[in-house]
């Protein structure tokens, strides 16, 4: 375990994170959420919540597979750097040197480095990409080359700005095929997935394992009832969006991108991949390297990637300094994967924000409590108690500090709209379990598993 991440703080953060994920699966009406955390030298947490198949009431498990979509770009970048290390490819090679069908076209002049960095000024998905909503199949190799040959595919000059492009990564897949002499899917399967011994990852839909995939669902933005979405092959865009995986194997894959791990790449190549090349948002917090997103979460720089596939939204963050990795996979097209993954890092940050407190006797207060107005969590983090709302996008954003005061907790933090200086007064049963809490605002709360409203709320 890294010196700057106390095991006790990690354990407390994971205990609350488990509960928070379960709450969010229900509260946000996500069919299923799968998550895993890697810390130090191994997977320390893996959890699944909700359903893999709503229509057939199939519980989601840690073994179910998700389409992790643009996570594929990290595998593509890894393959490129492997071939660079082998002397079979150079980052400054033009695409047309390897994909000769593009010689004399604007895309044939783009370099491998520009493609990796989304700096080629290439169309994101082409002028007609309704394969993203299953109107027709994803393009095969010939169809993708037809898109790339179109003059309109070069939207702007190279290196003018960051411009995300799935077509550009499809081109990288063709470059990898030419440089390796092996089909893209076969190369990444052998050189990356099999090398790590991970059976829960793969470069493209595997029909033989279809029963293992979580069903993907549509959004509730435009229809109250979610509809299942068919899994389909991404064909020549596999290098941009084809991969499947489960959270446990995904964090294990990303562990090979930590410093000192030479299973896939040298540290020199990993540093180059993870070095930010472009600012992607309105501030310096969001950047892109060569095949990985680089951003600031709280006070720390992390890298990783997101994935959006029809029916599945996924996110991974890697804190290289702390050797801490979190992946969250959801089986809904509006799944809050990024929010839920970031929430874990924020919880760790809160637990580590102060010198660790004396946790003795505090666990009995921790829990989830409800009243008519909503739900309040009292969480033990960093040996201290905090009041927070699990319904917030990030419960650690505005935590209310609570200090032990006999059998009560005094509000010692938070803003002036709260109950600063007042107390949470607890009633315990004969077994020491919480029966009720009179909150700092004077309202009575009950443990959520005992809280129930009548069909109509009336006086008295």
Please answer whether residues 66 and 213 qualify as being in contact, where contact means their C-beta atoms are separated by less than 8 angstroms: yes
- The answer, as to whether pTM is greater than 0.85, is yes
Q: Which pLDDT tens digit goes with each residue over 222-241?
A: 999 999 999 999 999 999 99
List the beta bridge partners of residue 213.
65
Residue labelled with tokens 């969250």: 328
Q: Which pLDDT tens digit goes with each residue over 274-331?
A: 999 999 987 888 999 999 999 999 889 999 999 999 999 999 999 999 999 999 999 9
Backbone dihedral angles phi then psi of residue 381, each to the nearest 5 degrees: -140, 125
Per-residue pLDDT of the chain (460 residues; tens, 9 = 90+): 444 799 999 999 999 999 999 999 999 999 999 999 999 999 999 999 999 999 999 999 999 999 999 999 999 999 999 999 999 999 999 999 999 999 999 999 999 999 999 999 999 999 999 999 999 999 999 999 999 999 999 999 999 999 999 999 999 999 999 999 999 999 999 999 999 999 999 999 999 999 999 999 999 999 999 999 999 999 999 999 999 999 999 999 999 999 999 999 999 999 999 999 999 987 888 999 999 999 999 889 999 999 999 999 999 999 999 999 999 999 999 999 999 999 999 999 999 999 999 999 999 999 999 999 999 999 999 999 999 999 988 889 889 999 999 999 999 987 777 788 899 999 999 999 999 999 888 899 999 999 988 888 888 7
CB contact set of 246 (below 8 Å; sequence gap of 6+): 34, 36, 62, 63, 64, 65, 66, 200, 201, 329
Domains and CATH numbers, the chain: 1-353 (3.40.710.10), 363-450 (2.40.128)
Q: How far is residue 267's CA from residue 246's CA, in Å, rounded to a whole number?
A: 26
């Amino acid at each position: 375990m890294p010196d700057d991440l106390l095991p006790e703080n990690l354990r407390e953060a994971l205990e609350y994170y488990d509960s928070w994920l379960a709450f969010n699966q229900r509260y946000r009406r996500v069919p299923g959420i799968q998550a895993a955390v890697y810390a130090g030298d191994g997977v320390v947490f893996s959890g699944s919540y909700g359903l893999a198949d709503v229509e057939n009431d199939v519980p989601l498990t840690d073994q179910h597979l998700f389409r992790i979509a643009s996570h594929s770009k990290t595998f593509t970048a890894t393959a490129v750097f492997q071939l660079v290390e082998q002397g079979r490819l150079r980052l400054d090679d033009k695409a047309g040197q390897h994909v000769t069908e593009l010689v004399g076209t604007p895309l044939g002049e783009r370099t491998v480095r520009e493609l990796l960095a989304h700096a080629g000024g290439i169309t994101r998905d082409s002028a007609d990409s309704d394969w993203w909503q299953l109107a027709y199949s994803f393009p095969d190799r010939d169809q993708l080359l037809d898109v790339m040959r179109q003059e309109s595919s070069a939207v702007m000059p190279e290196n003018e700005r960051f411009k995300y492009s799935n077509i550009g990564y499809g081109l990288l897949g063709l470059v990898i095929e030419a440089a390796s002499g092996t089909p893209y899917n076969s190369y990444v399967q052998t050189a990356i997935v099999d090398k790590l011994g991970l059976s829960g990852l793969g470069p493209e839909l595997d029909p033989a394992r279809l029963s293992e995939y979580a069903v993907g669902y549509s959004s509730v933005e435009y229809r109250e009832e979610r509809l299942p979405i068919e899994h389909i092959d991404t064909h020549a865009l596999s290098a941009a969006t084809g991969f499947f995986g489960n959270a446990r194997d995904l964090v294990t894959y990303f562990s090979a991108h930590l410093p000192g791990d030479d299973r896939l790449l040298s540290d020199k190549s990993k540093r180059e991949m993870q070095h930010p090349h472009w600012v992607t948002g309105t501030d310096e917090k969001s950047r892109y390297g060569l095949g990985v997103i680089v951003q600031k979460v709280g006070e720390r720089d992390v890298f990783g990637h997101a994935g959006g596939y029809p029916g599945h939204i996924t996110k991974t963050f890697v804190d290289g300094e702390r050797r801490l990795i979190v992946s969250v996979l959801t089986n809904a097209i509006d799944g809050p994967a990024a929010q839920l993954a970031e929430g874990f890092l924020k919880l760790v940050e809160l637990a580590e924000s102060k010198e660790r407190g004396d946790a003795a006797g505090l666990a009995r207060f921790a829990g989830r409590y409800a009243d008519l107005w909503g739900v309040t969590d009292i969480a033990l983090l960093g040996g201290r108690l905090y009041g927070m709302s699990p319904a917030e996008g990030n419960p650690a954003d505005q935590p209310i500090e609570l200090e032990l005061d006999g059998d009560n907790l005094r509000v010692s933090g938070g803003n002036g709209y709260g109950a600063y200086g007042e107390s949470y007064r607890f009633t315990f049963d004969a077994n020491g379990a919480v029966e009720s809490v009179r909150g700092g605002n004077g309202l009575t709360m009950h443990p959520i598993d005992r809280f129930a409203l009548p069909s109509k709320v009336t006086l008295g």
